[in-house]
Amino acid sequence: MTEFVYAPPPDIPVVLHADDHVLVVDKQAGLLSVPGRGEDRADCLIARLREAFPTVLLVHRLDLDTSGVMVFALTPQAQRDLSKQFEDRLTKKVYVARLSGRLQPETGRVDLPLIVDWPNRPRQKVDHAEGRPAQTDWRVVRATDAETRVRLMPVTGRSHQLRVHMASLGHPILGDPLYATGTAADHPRLMLHAESLRFRHPDTGVQAGFSAKVPF
């Protein structure tokens, strides 16, 4: 297996919204959300944001290969509030993905428990005996025999959930370096993007929604 070399994109993070409490950005694919192990993985989204927003605090993460909307807190109180919303499944997340093959039917739910695949970390796997509950709703946008564009609405937020769930249906996300094989893996990036995110603003209590254009 070829050793992974981290080569983060040079782009400056796109700020979608900023106030005294929250910061919403569009993360680039190929950029870690937080630092990885080793000096060669210190460059990450939160480190870049800290240059302009010194008080920035992590609330949730997106995978290295996933792009799209992320929210950060700018105060400890906002971090606690937003983290609780994620924990209680009060946030609403919508992703767009390109899948291998034609996914049918046009709507559905994957309900398969997930657990880390320890010998093959960071891979996750379905485990009906000891896995944690995980559910993903899908809605087909358009499809051909070769490819399906879908919107994915995760009910839970397990690591690699969308990637494992789509692969478990026999329709891996295109460009997935962990769960796709053959021509499905032969794409310049993972075709998964966090298109929109809704949450209750931790200061005002008003529902807020943000979106980022799908780059593929």
Residues in the chain: 216
> Across-strand partners of 154?
136
Q: Give the residue carrying structure tokens 């630092």.
A: 35
Catalytic residue among 63, 65, 81, 176: 63
Whether 109 and 66 have beta carbons less than 8 Å apart is answered as: no
Backbone angles phi, psi at 108, to 5 degrees: 175, 180
Q: Give the residue carrying structure tokens 């979608």.
A: 16
Cα-Cα-Cα-Cα dihedral sign, residues 32, 182, 214, 164: negative
CA–CA distance, 176 with 128 (Å, rounded to integer):
24
Q: Known catalytic residue: 63? A: yes
User: Taking the CA of residue 28 as centre, how many other CA atoms within 13 Å lie in the half-sphere pointing to its CB?
Assistant: 16
CA–CA distance, 108 with 150 (Å, rounded to integer):
11
Token representation of residue 180: 């796709």
Peptide bond into 10 cis (omega under 30): no
- C-alpha angle 146-148-154 in degrees, rounded to nearest 5: 145
Whether 106 and 140 have beta carbons less than 8 Å apart is answered as: yes
- List residues with catalytic annotation: 63
